[in-house]
Structure 1
Amino acid sequence: MQVGLIGAGNIAQIMHLPYLVEIPETEVAAIADPGTNVVEELGDRYDIPGRYTNSDDLIAEEAESLDGVVIATPMHTHAETAITALEADLHTFVEKPVAVTPEDAADVVAAADDTDAVCMIGYMKRYDPSYKRFAEELENAESIDLITNTVIPPDVGSVIGEVYDNIPADLDDEFLQASGEQRAAQLQAAIGTDDETLTRAYGYHLESICHDVNALRGLFGEVTAIDHVDVFNGWQYLTAQLRYEGDRRCTLQSGATERKWYDERIRVDAPEGSYALEFSNAFIKNTPTEIKIKRGGTEEIEESRQTPSHEESFKLELEYFVECAEGREEVLTGPREAKRDVELIADLIRAHDGRDPVGSY
C-alpha cells in the first residue's frame, strides 16, 4: 500500500512515520509539511521520494500513484485536508479530532459517503488490547452505578523533549499567525462566542478529551443528556455530568497541568466492585494500559491487575487502517461518530455558557 504522510509534527515523527515504515504492507511514498527542513531531513532519513510543503500539492500530484494518506496536521486543518484526500478517492486516515467545528465534521462525513475510499479517524485507544479486555470485563458487571473519566495530561512538550530528538519545523511568523487566526476562528464558530477564556478552553479540551469521549462511546453508547458543565481555573479545568444510554451517569473531568506524570483513566463502579482502566503516557511507546478490578468490599476484597499487552496502539490502529483499505475489515472509528464527538465537546462549552446545543441528546 503506497501511503502519503501529511503533517510531520511530534506525533507523526514519534508514531506514524516509524510505524508506517515498519508495517510490511505499507510504503511511505510522499511526505508533506510546511517546514521544508522537516520534509528534507525526514525524506532523507526514511528515503521518501515525494516531498512537498503543501498538502494539496501532494494529493494533486501523487493521487494516481498513492493508495492512501495519513493526516497528522494541526486539528484545524484536519477537515479540509481529509475532504481533499477523499475527493481524490484516497483511503484516508485522519488524526483526532476529525474537525474543530461540527459543520466541518459533517462535511467530512459527506465526503466519505461520496467515495468508496475508507475514512478512519485515529482514536488509537479503541485499538488498545487493554481497552478491548476492559470492555469484556464490563460485560460481567451486574449493573453500573457510576462512570468516572479523568483526563489530566502532563506538560506534553517537556516530556517529548526529554525522550525524543524530534525535528522542529522552521516556520515564519506570518505563517504561524495565519494558522493561529484560522484555528481561533474555527474554535469561536464552534462554541458561538469569541470569549477568549472559553475559546482557549474549547481548543484545549477538544484536543485532550476527544479520545476519551470516543472511548466512552465505544463502551456505553450515545450521550443522552448533558446535566451540568463547569469550566474553571480560567480555561484549565472542565467537569461535566453526562448521561449515557440506560440512564448511566458519568462524571467527566479534564484538566491541564505543568506536571510530568500522566493521569488518564476510566473507572466504573458497580454493586459488586469497581473496574478501572488506567492509560499510560500516550507519547511513550509501548507502555501498557493497566486494568484494575476490585470485587467485594464489605467482608472480603479481591483485587486483580491485568496488562494484556505491550503492543503499541498507534501501530495497531495503522495496521487496522491497512486492513480496512484492503477490504479485510470494516471501519471501527469512522467520521460519523467522530462528528458526534466534536458536537458533544462543543456542547459542553456551549452548555457552560448557556447556549443551545448543536447536537441532539
Structure 2
Amino acid sequence: MKIGVIGVGAIAQIMHVPYLAELPEADIHAIADPGENVVETFGDRYNVSHRYTESTALIEDQAETLDGVVITTPMHTHAEVAIASLEADLHTFVEKPVAVTPADAQRVVDASEASDAVCMVGYMKQFDPGFQRFQSAVDDVSEVNLVTSTVIPPDVGSVIEENYDIVYADLADSFIEESNEERRQQVEQAIGTDDETLSQAYDFHLESICHDINALRSVFGSVEQIDHIDIFDDWKFITAQLRYEGDRRCLLKAGTSDRKCYDERIHVDAPEGSASIEFSNAFIKNTPSDVRAKLGTEETTETQYTPSSDEPFKRELQHFLECIEGSAEPRTPPAESKRDVELIADLIRTYDKEGEASSVSR
C-alpha cells in the first residue's frame, strides 16, 4: 500500500515513520513537511522520492496514486488536512485530537461520512495490550465505586532529547508566528473567551488528556454531568469530578511538570477490590503498561499483568492498514474524538474563576 506522511515532527520521527517502514504492507510513497530540511533528511533516509513542503500539494499530486495518508501535523492543522484528504477520497489516519474546536471536529466527521474513504484518529492507548487487559479487569468487578484518573506528563522535551536525535524544521519566524496565531484563534473559539489563563489551560490539556478522556469513555461510557472543575497554579493543573453513565463518579487530575517521571494512570475502586493501570512513558518505545488487580474482603489477592511490550503506535498503524484493505473497521473513528474535544472544551468553559463548584449536565 502506498502511504503519504504529512507532518514529520518529533512523534512522527520517533514512531510513525519508522513503524510504517517496518510494516511489510506499507510503502512510504510521499512525505510533506514545511521544513525542507526535514523533508530532505527523511526522504533520503527512507528512500522517499515524492517530497513536498505543503500538504495540499502532496494530496493534489498523489491522490490517484496513494492508498492513504498519515497526518501527524500540529493539532490546529488536523481538521483542515484531514478534510482535504477525505475529500480526495484518501484513507485518512489523523493524530489526536481530531481538531481544536468542536465545530471543526464536526466538519471532519461530516467529511468522513461523505467520503468513500475510512478515517481513523490516532488514539494509540486503545491499542495498548495493557489497556485492553485493564478493560477486562474492570469488566470482572461487580460494580464501580470510584474512578481516579491521573495525567501528569514529564518534561517531554528532555525525555526526547535524551533518547532520540530529532531533526527540527528550519522555519521562518513569520511562518511560526502565523501558525501560533491560528492556533490561538482556534483555542479562543473553542472555549468562547480570550482569557489568557483559560486559553493556555485548554491549549495544553486538550492535547495532554484527550487520550485519557477517550480511554475513560471506552470503559465507562459517556460523561453525563460535570460536577466540579478547578483550574489552578495559573493554568497548569486541573481537577474535575465527572459523572459517567450509571452514576459512576470519576476524579480527574491533570497537570504538567518539569520532572522526568511519567505519571499517567487509571484506578478503579470496587466493593471487592480494585483494578488499575499505570501507563508507560508514551515516548519510550516498547515499554509495557503495568496492570494490577486486588481482590478480597477477608484476605487479598494481588495480580500483576504485563500482557505485552508490543508497541501501541505500531499496532494502531497496522490496524489502519487493515482498514484500508477492508478487513477491519476503524476502532477510533472521528466521531469519538469529536466527543472528546467537546468534553474538554466543556470542562474549560464551565470553570468558575471565583472557585465555586460548577455543575453542568451534558
The answer to whether the superposition gives a TM-score over 0.5 is yes
Shift of the alpha carbon at 1:32?
0.4
SS at match of 1:352: coil
Work out the CA distance in 2 between the residues paired with 1:115 and 1:10: 30
Residue 195 of structure 1 is matched in structure 2 by 195
Shift of the alpha carbon at 1:80?
0.3
Work out the CA distance in 1 between the residues paired with 2:134 and 2:185: 39
Q: Does residue 134 of structure 1 match 2:131?
A: no
1:239-258 maps to which residues of 2 (within 5 A)?
239-258=239-258
Shift of the alpha carbon at 1:10?
0.5
1:308-347 maps to which residues of 2 (within 5 A)?
308-347=307-346
SS at match of 1:30: strand
Residue 266 of structure 1 is matched in structure 2 by 266
Query: Aligned letter for 1:317?
Result: E
- Per-residue CA shift, 1:269-298, capped at 9, x if unaligned? 0001110011000000000011011112x5
Query: Aligned letter for 1:201?
Result: A
Runs of 4+ in 1 over 3 A off after TM superposition: none
Shift of the alpha carbon at 1:236?
0.2
SS at match of 2:25: coil
1:1-361 maps to which residues of 2 (within 5 A)?
1-296=1-296, 298-353=297-352, 361=362
Listed as ranges, the gaps of 5+ residues in structure 2 are: none
TM-score, normalised with respect to structure 2: 0.97
**Could you tell me whether the CA contact under 8 Å between 2:226 and 2:361 is conserved in 1?**
no
CA RMSD of aligned residues (A): 1.2
Identity within the alignment, %: 62
Work out the CA distance in 2 between the residues paired with 1:346 and 1:253: 16
SS at match of 1:65: coil
Query: Aligned letter for 2:140?
Result: N
Work out the CA distance in 2 between the residues paired with 1:17 and 1:88: 22
Shift of the alpha carbon at 1:139?
1.3
Shift of the alpha carbon at 1:134?
1.1
Query: Aligned letter for 1:323?
Result: E
Work out the CA distance in 2 between the residues paired with 1:147 and 1:336: 24
**Could you tell me whether the CA contact under 8 Å between 2:230 and 2:352 is conserved in 1?**
no
Work out the CA distance in 2 between the residues paired with 1:250 and 1:201: 20
Listed as ranges, the gaps of 5+ residues in structure 1 are: none
TM-score, normalised with respect to structure 1: 0.97
- Per-residue CA shift, 1:11-44, capped at 9, x if unaligned? 0000000001100111000000000000000000
- Per-residue CA shift, 1:55-92, capped at 9, x if unaligned? 00000001110010000000000000000000000000
Work out the CA distance in 2 between the residues paired with 1:117 and 1:147: 37
Shift of the alpha carbon at 1:138?
1.2
**Could you tell me whether the CA contact under 8 Å between 2:30 and 2:50 is conserved in 1?**
yes
SS at match of 2:24: coil
Work out the CA distance in 2 between the residues paired with 1:215 and 1:3: 28
Shift of the alpha carbon at 1:299?
3.7
SS at match of 2:166: coil
How many residues of Structure 1 are paired with residues of Structure 2 in the alignment? Answer: 357
Query: Aligned letter for 1:312?
Result: E
Work out the CA distance in 2 between the residues paired with 1:252 and 1:265: 10
Shift of the alpha carbon at 1:221?
1.0
Query: Aligned letter for 2:190?
Result: A
- Per-residue CA shift, 1:125-146, capped at 9, x if unaligned? 0011111111111111011000
